[in-house]
Amino acid sequence: TDASKGDYAHFMEKEIFEQPAALENAMRGRFAADGSTAQFGGLNVTASEFRHIDRLMFCACGTAWHACLVTEHLIERFARLPVEVDYASEFRYRNTPLGSNTLFFVMSQSGETIDTLAALREAKRKGHRVLAISNVVGSSIAREADGGIYQHVGPEIGVASTKAFTSQLLIGAMMALYLARMRDMSFTDGVQFANALKAAPDLVRRVLDQAPNIREIAKRYAQSTDMLFLGRLSLFPLALEGALKLKEISYIHAEGYPAAEMKHGPIALISERCPSVFFAPAGEIFNKIVSSMQEIKARKGAVIAITTEGMQLPAGLANDVIEIPACHEAVLPIVAAIPIQLLSYYIAVERGCDVDKPRNLAKSVTVE
Ligand code: G6P
């Protein structure tokens, strides 16, 4: 059942491995009959209202905020609409101007995070319609929103978010598809995008199959005191999420950075004792990422590369390599999330940490 760990050592482990099924559940019934776009039943916004949107704003906390950053990238890239993302805790006091054609979203797994609820109320107070992406049916945020999208991934018990995060990425990608198909995207590109999302569970399964290898890698880095996570474009937020996951459950200090920005500060930390996890997927800027890796290597920092199957890294550059399958840009962040979840999980287990209940953290932060 959902509330028991079954054969798994921790809820976090169970929830990592249940992601293929969770993604299926989050997609079910949400593609249009012609297969070229997404559809959502509970938004309470008509297609013509959607057509008049000229900007979107997302507010969230923690891991959900990282999911919003990926969503920003995908909506701007595919639907060509400007998107702003803010921490809910900042938005509520920042008095941001919200245009009348701005679509306002909050994203919250639990639907109970107090700062996110306050952001929702602040937007409503300004007369805005507010939409919510949440996993908990009937939660405070779901009840107070004017419409929204449920994640439908079942209860998430581990404090470190895993399946809730990847389902938020999936819903963000489906939102990008929906908005794009009202604007620039052709039928054929829409079908290709939708099919790519439908293939996500299988691709995730293929990364999960590498868990034993990732566990061996984790053992080699479990005694680190600091770790950097570096990524670019849609994987910059994944670098933030990797660092968050690791520090939450293993108490290793970690930072996420855009790979090219590390030379403006974090590179000062590089030593034998501070390894870097690099997202180096196939793509136009693969070579730029490789040169960032070379800068780390030149300073004796170990490199763990997460790269696309078939990509050739210069010999001796990466100390360890984790391969992910080639995939559509919209699916890449979902697939790339799996190695960082497994890496942090196995490092925390190796260190004997209480993975499901890390010190000082709550699953849902209901006080300001
Ligand atoms: C807490 C949890 C995080 C979560 C954040 C936002 O800090 O430990 O895992 O990402 O709250 O939670 P929400 O339920 O609003 O998504």
Nearest alpha carbon, ligand 1 atom 2:
363
Is residue 252 very low, low, confident or very high in pLDDT (cuts 50, 70, 90)? very high
Q: Which distant-in-sequence residues (6+ apart) come within 8 Å of 261 by Cβ?
A: none
- Where do we find the tokens 């760990």? 5
Q: What's the CA gap between 304 and 219, in Å, rounded?
A: 13
For residue 159, give the ligand 1 atom closest to its CA: 8
Pocket test for ligand 1, best of 58, 86, 109 (most atoms within 8 A of CB): 109
User: pLDDT (tens digit, 9 = 90+) per residue, 351-360?
Assistant: 999 999 888 8
Q: How far is the CA of 308 from the centre of ligand 1 (A)?
A: 30
The reported pLDDT for the residue numbered 1 is 43
Q: What's the CA gap between 150 and 135, in Å, rounded?
A: 5
Segment 102-112 shows an average pLDDT of 97
179-185 long-range contacts, CB within 8 A, separation 24+: 179/50, 179/53, 179/75, 179/78, 179/79, 179/81, 180/75, 180/78, 180/79, 180/80, 181/36, 181/37, 182/47, 182/50, 182/51, 182/79, 183/79, 183/80, 183/81, 184/78, 184/79, 184/80, 185/78, 185/79
The reported pLDDT for the residue numbered 358 is 87
Pocket test for ligand 1, best of 87, 110, 249 (most atoms within 8 A of CB): 110
Segment 244-269 shows an average pLDDT of 94
- Please list every protein residue whose CB sits less than 6 Å from any atom of ligand 1: 61-64, 108-110, 113, 116, 159, 161, 361, 363-365
Q: How far is the CA of 70 from the centre of ligand 1 (A)?
A: 16
Distance of CA 263 to the CA centre of its chain: 24
Q: Where does 61-180 show beta strands of DSSP type E?
A: 83-87, 102-108, 130-134, 147-150
Segment 182-196 shows an average pLDDT of 97
Is residue 367 very low, low, confident or very high in pLDDT (cuts 50, 70, 90)? confident
Q: Residue 312 class from Cβ within 10 Å (0-12 exposed, 13-18 middle, 19+ buried)?
A: exposed
User: pLDDT (tens digit, 9 = 90+) per residue, 287-297?
Assistant: 999 999 999 99
Q: How far is the CA of 14 from the centre of ligand 1 (A)?
A: 18
Q: Dump the DSSP string for 138-165.
A: T-HHHHHSSEEEE-------SSS-SHHH
Handedness of CA 249, 333, 321, 293 (dihedral sign): negative
Q: How far is the CA of 165 from the centre of ligand 1 (A)?
A: 10
Q: What is the ipTM of this complex?
A: 0.96
263 catalytic, yes or no?
no
Q: What's the CA gap between 259 and 231, in Å, rounded?
A: 5
The reported pLDDT for the residue numbered 2 is 53
Three-state secondary structure call for residue 331:
coil
For residue 165, give the ligand 1 atom closest to its CA: 10
First-to-last alpha carbon distance for the chain, in angstroms, is 33
pTM for the full predicted model? 0.97
User: pLDDT (tens digit, 9 = 90+) per residue, 77-104?
Assistant: 999 999 999 999 999 999 999 999 999 9
Q: What's the CA gap between 357 and 353, in Å, rounded?
A: 9
| Cβ atoms of residues 101 and 109 within 8 Å | no
For the ranges 164-178, 230-244, 256-270, which has the lowest average pLDDT?
A: 256-270
Nearest alpha carbon, ligand 1 atom 11:
364
Round the average pLDDT of the chain to a whole number and report it. Answer: 95
